[in-house]
Structure 1
Amino acid sequence: MLAYDVFSAEKPGKRLLLLGTVHGNETCGYFAIERLRKKIISGELLLESGEITTVPISNERAFRQGVRLTEDNLNRSFFWSGDGHFLSDNGNKIVENEDVGNQFDMRAEMGDIELQKKVGQAPSSYEQERAKELARLFVSKDAEIDIHSQTAEGESYCFGQNESLELKSYLNALGTKNIIYGWDKMYPEGDFTSENLAEKMGILGTTVECGSHENPDSIEFAWRVILNALKYLKIISDKTYLQQFVQMDEKYRYQKISKNLRMIKMYRWIDGGKMTHDWKHLETINEGDVIAHTNSGETIIAEEDCLMILPNYHPIRNNEEWFYLAKIED
């Protein structure tokens, strides 16, 4: 059973959903959300208005095992809306009373789970079950943050699912150093991430990457993001925010967005391969640089100046995401 807490102020206001450990080995969200829970319960952090729903452990089985996933990628498994309806193959509409099995042939070819089921049929894996449970918590929320970390070292960033002024304002307030747009364009077969679900349900949603798994700074960046969100949504007062803010080390305090990035390409790990060196997340790649070699004999060369995004040095499945490329926007 999914464990979560709901903390409400007496005064009505915005309602925020916080998710941690959607990937079980990405624990910065767990520790930051647990810190928030303890501060609220102890009375150290007072809510001014609204409501916070906290899920420190979203993927309990993977979290207990210390692994990213057990059967499926939970952050590619949000196939259901909050009311249990099945999302279509491109995630852009909700379908009812329709056999949608054949719509997922492309997903099967690309290494994801083949979904041959009808609307309302039970999920076929542990992560799909959790995704359907988590989706219910999105109902009646105003904002959502899914807190992650990454394998490679690199700066913090968040994803912009769309480019509305409202979402841009929210993302800029979170204080990450970068915002990445165009993630959904990397998945023409369907985007079934938490931020996509948030968008389809009319919520200000994002996934935030707070640094590498092993870097303790990732917990502090996650904590800063949470505080910035609470202040922006007026769930805590400026006074409460300042009280928490001054307790942080200066290097973790709010910083303005330095770069907006645009995703341009994604490469999958097909039958093995090796990168030319240990690329860091957001490392600069020059046009003509050799990025990687595949076991099938292909040499992957940068077609233009770009940045490395989320290099995956430990792929465990054929066709799993290997790395992405992005450009800095003017």
Structure 2
Amino acid sequence: MTVSRFHIPQQDHSPSAEQPAALRSYGWASAVPGPSLLIFGAVHGNEQSGTHAIRRWIERFESGQVRLKRGRLTMVPVANPKAFIKNEREGDRNLNRNFVPQAQPQNFEDHMVNALAPLLESHDALLDLHSYSGEGRAFAMTGPLNNTGTLEPFARQQEEEAFAKAVGLPIIVQGWLEVYEQAVKASGGALRPEHGIGTNEFMRSRGGYAITVESGSHEEPQAIEVADRCIAGVLALLEMADVTVEPVAQYTTHHMRQVFMRQSADDRMQKEWQNFDPFRQGDLLATRADGSQILAPFDGCVIFPQPDAAVNREWFYLAQTDRS
């Protein structure tokens, strides 16, 4: 089948169409040895494009339209049922922060971490499907380069990069946790190191590799198509199903390098920066409440601008760009 020709089925996409009382996962195992792949949707409850795409693939496998050729596949269409029912980002807290198992869980997301962590530990690779508010382009996020450091040691960079390219999105963002560590140090205690640990970081800490896909705007139907194609891409890469995907001619990788914190409610950005807006070294990016200017330290682009960020929270990140 040709994944690029898929269309959105006529069905109820409202959060009330399904109200899961507990975490549900769907799994298939082939008699032929191979990799183990885990796919999450709705880690944030209002980010449902991945959920709808996963449900399509569940139906394809269950109906026999697609069969698993090798390895093991597990799909979790709704990783955060409480937030999903509310159609809000969080149930009690952000599931994609402090993704660390708890001996004494204090809230709903703690319980979900404890339920999801064993799945992560028993698989080789994770595709975590998200979306975002507002307009913008879809992109994939990868972790660190291979390293033996203490923050996020990693030895599967090449596999993870191939995984990111397989989803078919021309934009890749690399190096989240390294720069988040800068934010922790600059926050004056408002942020904690474990807040930077999400599903991907936990997966890498257990010897696997992982990417996050931001498939587009929450309310944009095309985001479902993007998530659908991403699943097809990784299944094709890992030779787990007979699917056909079109390759991307060129990839742009944005390496996250620096973060600026909002120090005062009167700090102002130079303009309404959007994700991936480019700048040149020396350009004025923002002005502090005391009049001091933030000038671009290198050629690059803005990542994750938050003009209304709280004081001592991340205001915007800067990245350097490579094209291949």
Distance 1:62 1:318 in 2: 26
Residue 132 of structure 2 corresponds to residue 138 of structure 1: no
Pair 1:68–1:10, CA change in 2 (3 A): same
Residue 109 of structure 2 corresponds to residue 122 of structure 1: no
Pair 1:127–1:159, CA change in 2 (3 A): same
- What residue number does 2:169 align with? 176
Residue 241 of structure 2 corresponds to residue 255 of structure 1: no
Question: Which residue type is aligned with residue 305 of structure 2?
Answer: P
8 Å Cα contact 1:290-1:302 kept in structure 2:
yes
Residue 70 of structure 2 corresponds to residue 49 of structure 1: yes
- What residue number does 1:216 align with? 221
Structure 2 counterparts to residues 101-250 of structure 1, below 5 A: 121-163=103-145, 164-188=157-181, 189-190=193-194, 191-237=196-242, 241-242=243-244, 245=245
Q: Alpha-carbon deviation of 1:57?
A: 0.9
Q: Alpha-carbon deviation of 1:274?
A: 4.8
Provide the TM-score with structure 1 as the length reference.
Answer: 0.75
Pair 1:313–1:284, CA change in 2 (3 A): same
Q: Alpha-carbon deviation of 1:296?
A: 7.2
Give the RMSD, CA atoms, in angstroms: 2.4
Pair 1:215–1:266, CA change in 2 (3 A): farther
User: Taking every aligned residue pair, what percent have the same amino acid on both sides?
Assistant: 31
8 Å Cα contact 2:140-2:169 kept in structure 1:
yes
Question: Which residue type is aligned with residue 142 of structure 1?
Answer: D
- What residue number does 1:86 align with? none
Pair 1:314–1:51, CA change in 2 (3 A): farther
Residue 282 of structure 2 corresponds to residue 277 of structure 1: no
8 Å Cα contact 1:176-1:257 kept in structure 2:
no
Distance 1:149 1:15 in 2: 24
Residue 16 of structure 2 corresponds to residue 11 of structure 1: no
1:65 pairs, out of 75, 86, 89, with 86
Deviations 1:64-102 (A, max 9, x none): 22221233221112113xxxxxxxxxxxxxxxxxxxxxx
Structure 1 counterpart SS, 2:121: coil
8 Å Cα contact 1:32-1:219 kept in structure 2:
yes
**Which piece of structure 1 moves more, 5-14 or 194-203?**
5-14
Residue 280 of structure 2 corresponds to residue 286 of structure 1: yes
Deviations 1:33-74 (A, max 9, x none): 111111112222222122211111111222222221233221
Distance 1:219 1:198 in 2: 24
